[in-house]
């Protein structure tokens, strides 16, 4: 998942979510050149040379007060650059229009990317206030670009004559993507429709910020205090240690706290014998953004849905889902829904098998209460131990975060010939952040990788990749600065961070995103790295997860944190055999969220949306597909950041499943070759996927790597959802 606040021209005019960066030209009067005080600009670190290695941001010099003046000045400069392009008396050419657009706004982009990191990973009241103020203003700024009466005709003229411009393949792709982005951003609208679209976008920008801040504040306002030994009954040492560290992070030294970070929530739900506390934690988890307090998000959801529908209608689409899926691999919301439905039946059947095992365990334990959602993790773990002879605590003892990081780097070296060396001379925004330099096999520096792996107050939940700078070669080689964020429990000083196998796979997943940015090798920044079709962007991340499951990787890097001994063969076999022990649950909770996300965005009646009861709508969608009572959807709507905190995954949460088809089918090529590091396949994966950005259509990129279009068979087989392969 990528960082949401980044609203750059490059990042969004070229993506399917481009249209939400439109706003009223009236706001631009606030940011004309010369308004920012000259002294303030001179002293502002954003307008000074960055002398850190690779020109990395000087986080130690940047203060919250620097951002608004810097953004205002940078918007003014950007306006002047755009005006020069749009008002040029020369006939439009690729160089004076497209290349000029690519080069415009560099100051603003680096400010926004830096701010995005802090807003996601190290926020505070000052940062939140800036985010609330500047989100609609930035949307307003970009409206002058996407709705500029003089700019789009130049782009349109170039696209109409593209066949005679003598462009190379990458240039033609950039022109087509930019043109499509402007059209989807409303450049062809006229009169009142243009004005209304601008108003909608400003409102949405504010609503997205409000939604995400509500979720974070609601989550941070809750803490389950474990006040006695009885409250900690059943918890393994790593969970108790993490609870102590979480308390320390909240200035509650000597106490133990469970938070609503997933890495804190899931271990407690899995191991705690205190059913009453599990229920209390579960209710807090599922009700984020849906409590009777100032952070409730129901009104925000209704307004977001209304505005998205209105905008989709203005652009000629029946609903937002139709707008969202157009110009993607899926093509239509019906195709996306069909994929979810195809996997749903197998997932639900597998969940029923898991439920039967759980009920057997409950009977053996003499349990006399009904199976509820807050029981599933706990009894599922008991069933896994009983049926697969696998103890999660024992597995974690072999999975220190440091060793998993070494593994992700080693796999990249074997596949792509790159090496990573940690550096201590690069400024960071928090002491937990580590930085590595990536170099080619020949020792050529290629970029920096930042890793931020521990949960803390001021950091949003989940795991994601972000970019402080993207790779391109437009004016010489520009190296990427890429970040990964996770939210694992920080260990006590001197102790290793032990993570689960699934958490180790998430580390690999996010590093797959990071490699997509780090290995990018294109000329134009607008198509660099992860700037691909939104239902293709998860493929590089998800295929990279497979190498964490490779026996050779596990045997080399899954070393016991005390003895250094490799994971025993018997334990490794148990891990592999239990790999799908909870796949029914995992897929059901995910697909349920995908169904609800699509259903919200397929609504076409504004009156219905205005009076929508969010919880009842969720319940109705889930009842229609036969959602098991004992499983809750992964993301309830009031805290569904993918769907309502921005637009990258809005109406598109299905993309993780879409990419699941690609990654399982793609990795099957390595299995068929009999070598997880097959050099020929690794080169194709690099050439067509990891290095090529958006230089070709997504399906062409996949076929270039795989040699054919994908099949759903490997996904269903690998997740244990069917006994037979089926072709897509």
Catalytic residue positions, numbered? 510
What is the C-alpha to C-alpha distance for residues 184 and 361, in angstroms, rounded to an integer?
54
Distance CA 27, CA 41 (A): 21
CB atoms within 10 A of CB 523: 18
Token pair listed for 304: 């977001």
Q: What is the distance of C-alpha 722 from the center of its chain?
A: 29
- Please tell me the distance from the alpha carbon of residue 170 to that of residue 177, in angstroms, as a whole number: 10
Integer Cα distance of 689 and 708 in angstroms: 14
In DSSP notation, 137-200 reads HHHHHHHHHHT-TTHHHHHHHHHHTGGGS---HHHHHHHHHHHHHHHHTTTT--HHHHHHHHHH
* Backbone phi and psi for residue 355, each to the nearest 5 degrees, phi listed first: -65, -40
487-to-268, 445, 498, 506 alpha-carbon distances in Å:
15, 29, 13, 10
Phi, psi of 404 (to 5 degrees): -65, -40
**Coil, helix or strand for 488?**
strand
| 8 A C-beta contact, residue 480 and residue 466 | no
Long-range contacts of 421-425 (CB under 8 A, 24+ apart): 423/53, 423/448, 425/52, 425/53
| Burial grade of 570 (CB within 10 A; 0-12, 13-18, 19 or more) | exposed
DSSP structure class, residue 686? I
Asked if 381 and 281 touch (Cβ cutoff 8 Å), the reply is no
Beta bridge partners of 677: none
> 466 — phi, psi (to 5°)?
-140, 170
**What does the DSSP assignment read for 306-336?**
HHHHHHHHHTT-SSHHHHHHTTSSS-SHHHH
3-state secondary structure at position 720: coil
Within 10 A of 602 (CB to CB), how many other CB atoms are there? 18
Token readout for 338 is 């069909």
Distance CA 19, CA 648 (A): 11
Exposure string of 92-126, with b = 16+ CB inside 10 Å and e = fewer, is bebeebbbbbbebbbbbbbbbbbbbbbbbbbbeee
Decide: helix, strand or coil at residue 466: strand
CA dihedral 147, 150, 156, 161 (to 10 degrees): -170
């Amino acid at each position: 998942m990528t960082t949401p606040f980044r609203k750059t021209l490059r990042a969004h005019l070229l993506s399917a979510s481009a249209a939400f960066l439109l706003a009223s030209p009236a706001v631009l009067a606030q940011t004309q050149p010369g308004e920012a005080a000259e002294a303030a600009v001179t002293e502002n670190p954003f307008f000074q040379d960055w002398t850190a290695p690779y020109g990395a941001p000087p986080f130690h010099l940047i203060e919250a007060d620097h951002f608004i003046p810097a953004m205002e000045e940078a918007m003014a400069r950007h306006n002047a650059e755009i005006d020069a392009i749009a008002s040029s008396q020369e006939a439009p050419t690729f160089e004076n229009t497209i290349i000029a657009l690519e080069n415009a706004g560099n100051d603003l982009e680096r400010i926004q990317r830096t701010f995005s990191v802090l807003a996601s990973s190290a926020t505070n009241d000052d940062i939140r206030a800036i985010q609330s103020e500047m989100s609609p203003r930035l949307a307003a700024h970009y409206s002058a670009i996407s709705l500029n009466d003089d700019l789009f005709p130049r782009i349109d003229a170039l696209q109409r004559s593209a066949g005679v411009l003598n462009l190379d393949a990458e240039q033609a792709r950039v022109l087509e993507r930019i043109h499509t982005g402007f059209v989807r951003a409303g450049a062809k609208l006229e009169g009142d429709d243009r004005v209304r679209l601008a108003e909608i976008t400003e409102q949405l920008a504010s609503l997205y910020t409000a939604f995400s801040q509500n979720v974070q504040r609601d989550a941070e306002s809750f803490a389950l205090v474990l006040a006695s030994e009885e409250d900690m009954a059943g918890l393994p040492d790593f969970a108790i240690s993490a609870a102590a560290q979480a308390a320390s992070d909240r200035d509650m030294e000597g106490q133990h706290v469970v938070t609503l970070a997933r890495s804190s929530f899931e271990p407690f739900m899995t191991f705690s014998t205190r059913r009453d506390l599990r229920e209390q934690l579960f209710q807090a988890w599922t009700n984020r953004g849906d409590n009777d307090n100032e952070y409730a998000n129901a009104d925000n959801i209704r307004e977001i849905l209304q505005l998205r529908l209105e905008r989709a209608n203005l652009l000629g689409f029946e609903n937002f889902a139709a707008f969202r899926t157009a110009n993607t691999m899926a093509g239509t919301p019906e195709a996306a829904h069909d994929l979810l439905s195809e996997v749903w039946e197998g997932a639900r059947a597998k969940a029923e098998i898991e439920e039967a095992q759980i009920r057997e365990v409950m009977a053996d334990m003499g349990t006399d209460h009904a199976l509820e959602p807050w029981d599933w993790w706990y009894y599922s773990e008991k069933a896994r131990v009983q049926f697969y002879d696998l103890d999660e605590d024992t597995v974690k003892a072999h999975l220190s975060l440091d060793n998993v990081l070494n593994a992700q780097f080693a796999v990249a070296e074997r596949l792509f010939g790159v090496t990573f060396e940690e550096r201590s001379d690069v400024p960071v925004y928090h002491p937990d952040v580590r930085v590595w330099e990536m170099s080619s096999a020949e020792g050529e520096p290629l970029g920096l990788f930042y890793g931020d792996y521990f949960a803390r107050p001021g950091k949003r939940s989940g795991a994601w990749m972000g970019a402080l700078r993207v790779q391109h070669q437009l004016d010489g080689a520009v190296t990427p600065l890429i970040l990964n964020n996770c939210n694992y429990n920080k260990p006590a000083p001197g102790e290793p961070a032990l993570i689960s196998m699934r958490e180790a796979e998430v580390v690999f997943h996010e590093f797959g995103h990071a490699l997509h940015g780090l290995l990018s090798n294109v000329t134009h920044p607008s198509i660099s790295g992860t700037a691909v079709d939104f239902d293709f962007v998860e493929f590089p991340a998800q295929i990279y997860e497979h190498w964490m499951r490779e026996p050779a990787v596990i045997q080399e890097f899954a070393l016991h944190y005390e003895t250094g001994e490799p994971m025993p063969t018997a334990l490794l076999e148990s891990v592999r055999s239990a790999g799908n022990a909870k796949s029914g649950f995992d897929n059901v909770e995910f697909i349920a969220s995908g169904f609800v996300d699509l259903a919200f965005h397929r609504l076409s009646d504004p009156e219905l949306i205005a009076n929508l009861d969010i919880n009842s709508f969720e319940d109705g969608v889930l009842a229609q597909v036969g959602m098991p009572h004992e499983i809750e959807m992964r993301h309830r709507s009031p805290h569904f950041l993918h769907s309502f905190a921005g637009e990258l995954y809005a109406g598109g949460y299905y993309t993780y499943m879409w990419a699941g088809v690609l990654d399982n089918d793609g990795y099957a090529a390595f299995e068929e070759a009999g070598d997880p590091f097959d050099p020929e396949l690794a080169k194709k994966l690099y050439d067509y996927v990891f290095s090529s950005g958006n230089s070709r259509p997504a399906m062409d990129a996949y076929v270039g790597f795989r040699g054919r279009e994908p099949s759903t068979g490997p996904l269903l087989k690998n997740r244990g959802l069917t006994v037979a392969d089926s072709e897509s």
